[in-house]
Amino acid sequence: MPNELEYLLANDKQLLASKSSRIVFQKDQVIIREGAPSKAVYFLREGAARVYRSGMSPDSRLATLTAGDVFGEMAFLEGVPASASVIADGTVTVDAIETPTLHSVFETFPHLGARFFRSVAVLLSRRLRETSKQLSQARPAK
């Protein structure tokens, strides 16, 4: 389990790892498709992947994900289709925990759920802060 979920305890990470499936994707294979229903939360173990939205040029990306990154968490939280695609840049290994499995674990271990959601909230806050910083630097000062 990644370091991005900083409030999880070692035992939490072990339990989540035991509930996950390891999946290998090859270069340019779609891991998450924009607009598709949320099926899992993914933990990138090895490799790199690009985050892409329709309408972007094929060479552009919203972000690059590397080992330790978590993705699919936004669709999981909201229960909506994925807002972007995640595509393997090369061989990528992920641990995927399916949405129903996560819900079951959180019902059984509510304190783990609280730590998970707190970790995801902090992760999303940091991403928003970084995006805001990049946007403010990209705009000319008035």
CATH number at residue 58: 2.60.120.10
3 assigned to some structural domain: no
d(CA 133, CA 65): 19
The edge-to-edge listing of strands for the beta sheet with 48-52 is 30-32, 85-88, 48-52, 63-66
pLDDT at position 43 is: 95
pLDDT at position 56 is: 81
139 assigned to some structural domain: no
Residue type, 103: H
pLDDT at position 32 is: 96
Other C-beta atoms lying within 10 Å of the C-beta of residue 121: 13
If DSSP codes are grouped into helix, strand and coil, which group holds residue 61? Answer: coil
Regions in the chain scoring below 70 on pLDDT: 1-3, 58, 140-142
Contact 96/42 with Cβ under 8 angstroms?
A: yes
User: In this predicted model, what pLDDT tens digit does every residue of 98-111 receive, in sequence order?
Assistant: 999 999 999 999 99
d(CA 49, CA 96): 15
Reported pTM:
0.87
For the chain, how many structural domains are there in total? 1
81 assigned to some structural domain: yes
As beta bridge partners, residue 6 has none
Q: List the domain range (segments joined by +) for residue 99.
A: 10-134
73: exposed, middle or buried (Cβ count in 10 Å: 0-12, 13-18, 19+): buried
1 assigned to some structural domain: no
d(CA 108, CA 116): 13
- C-alpha angle 53/68/61, rounded to 5°? 20
Please name the residue ranges forming H helices in 2-142.
10-18, 73-78, 99-108, 110-138
